[in-house]
Structure 1
């Protein structure tokens, strides 16, 4: 770092070895906070959790965890929740409001299968409690951007969290970020929106793809000129510029417009707004993001023109737009460019508005 005025933004850390017994006591005393907003508590299967316990008993090394120092020195767990929660569940399931962990799928120490903590020998129980895990503590910093970036970089590329889950977690590192993301979640529960995106697979929704579509709505309607061809970076930049006040974003006004747009989309097109049509004119397949962007951008700008039109007319015009050679060319190879995005929106707008 060449600019010395930025030295105060460096992350300062302390490395500590906690035993799992100490982590349990700290958690029970509320000196370590495990917030489910940071990671879904148990995406791991029962077998994955069981094998972690088996690894600890075998004496295998356990990857480190990361905590951030908050107000009054209270530590928040921001990376390693799966590992920590698994051991806490096994040692004292009531401490994290989870059912007792019964081991299964242990393939080295098969005798562990079917056992809970009370079934283990005193030696095995004490070994789990006394096993150390390296904890890196991010020392308290007033710089929200540093904390935000730190969480994002720790988790980017991990298999446990989707890009939108990382946005959910990292936004809560910033003052007011919880208000912003709670509003995103509320919009994702708006019934006309739910109905219109019903062709989004449930497996996608489990990783917050519905919330990502809300963010994508604002990206394509407010932030299109910032698109550089990478969807993830585009959505990240929109959220960051909003959270750190780099762009104006009136949350109540934007939420109201979002609801107006999706009320009309659902009324006119139901769940056929963002998907292909087969030769019989029926919507087919799952929701296509490129189609979604074109339609929501059109409705956002031309809502007053489209609101009076009968659903049948809008549906027929949309089918013509989607089936056109121009639209297919704009959604084929090389579709992730600002030029192709603009073409898709233009084609749908001209067809729906009969221009």
Structure 2
């Protein structure tokens, strides 16, 4: 999807400009790993005229979700990232419509409330909305990177025949239907993975956040903003890898006994089970996560989440450290001191078995069991 894994535990890049575009090797491996079961979907086709699409966008009948949208009314919100087409791409898309060239169709998800959410086609629909509005980034949207006869035109200054051509152009739409169930959302997740190609691919967690929006995704955002966690992890990840790591931690803390590859399916199932959060022990989990983050930040600090002095967060190590310490807190008694936590981290970071479990085949069941057992044992001793 040019318009637009859990990664394994290999070291994760520090956040930076390149992260906003590129997938890591672990992201790609996760996207490409096959699920144990492929589910069918229900879909149909229809055509929308361009003027009708823009009208529906204005009314909110077609929704282009974005990350950071906290509306729980949108069943698949927090979906598409920020607008990424450059002006030449936008201009040439409008020019293609004026020239009546064929263009790709769009894919929409029909919600239970009958609104359509954009699964594929964000850039095209955003371009149409902005051209009709006449503004892009608070500047006049007049065509520049086009043939001479179109240069300088805005929607308002289009000659009548060109405006009719644009308004009456039909765009094919595939409508994928969901009943809101876990099986239905999992099927749509698999559809999107197969569409997710090109220069600005979404990561597995970006897809997950889109399709499993609800109270639990909101909780992940809350914990990802926790001050001690932010000091441990570093700058926020524009690709949501920090939020995915919080999810991995919670999923393994609660459901490690049921873990099976592929990791992305394990996480999807976990989010699906607790999507509306009513069955999730929020208060206890938040307290344990925040206490663990505070002790780690005050004790070993950032090195607790990084292997062998590496600058990058090691996701497999980080989840194991948090799960092990949260399990220790479950034992009760006197809260361990930051110094005791730092000493435990120092001990297990010298364990050769842990080294293998956080750097090789980290999504394998045996690797997950090994690293959780090591950190749990060491923290239980303090």
CA gap of 1:286–1:48, structure 2 versus 1, over 3 A, is: farther
More moved, 178-187 vs 9-18 = 9-18
The corresponding residue for 1:128 is 166
- Aligned 8 A contact 1:294 1:344 in 2: yes
Matched residue SS, 1:156: helix
**1:169 paired to 2:210:** yes
CA gap of 1:273–1:110, structure 2 versus 1, over 3 A, is: farther
- Aligned 8 A contact 1:180 1:251 in 2: no
**1:154 paired to 2:154:** no
Alpha-carbon offset, residue 115 of structure 1 = 6.0
Alpha-carbon offset, residue 288 of structure 1 = 0.5
**1:219 paired to 2:219:** no
CA gap of 1:25–1:331, structure 2 versus 1, over 3 A, is: closer
- Aligned 8 A contact 1:79 1:154 in 2: no
More moved, 73-82 vs 289-298 = 73-82
Q: Which runs of 5+ in 2 are unaligned?
A: 1-38, 67-77
The corresponding residue for 1:194 is 230
**Number of corresponding residues:** 327
Alpha-carbon offset, residue 14 of structure 1 = 4.1
The corresponding residue for 1:238 is 270
More moved, 211-220 vs 158-167 = 158-167
* 1:256 paired residue among 253, 276, 287: 287
CA gap of 1:318–1:116, structure 2 versus 1, over 3 A, is: farther
CA distance in 1, matches of 2:190, 2:87: 28
Alpha-carbon offset, residue 23 of structure 1 = 0.9
Alpha-carbon offset, residue 124 of structure 1 = 4.0
CA distance in 1, matches of 2:221, 2:353: 35
The corresponding residue for 1:5 is none
- Aligned 8 A contact 1:89 1:98 in 2: no
The corresponding residue for 2:313 is 287
CA distance in 1, matches of 2:245, 2:188: 22
* 1:17 paired residue among 28, 47, 55: 47
* 2:357 paired residue among 304, 312, 330: 330
Q: RMSD of the alignment, in Å?
A: 3.4
Larger RCO, structures 1/2 (Cα 8 Å, 6+ apart):
2
**1:346 paired to 2:378:** no
* 2:260 paired residue among 221, 228, 232: 228
- Aligned 8 A contact 1:78 1:151 in 2: no
CA distance in 2, matches of 1:45, 1:97: 11
TM-score computed with the length of structure 2 as normaliser: 0.72
Q: Which runs of 5+ in 1 are unaligned?
A: 1-8, 173-177, 279-283
The corresponding residue for 2:73 is none
Give 1 or 2: higher helix fraction.
1
CA distance in 2, matches of 1:181, 1:79: 22
More moved, 293-302 vs 13-22 = 13-22
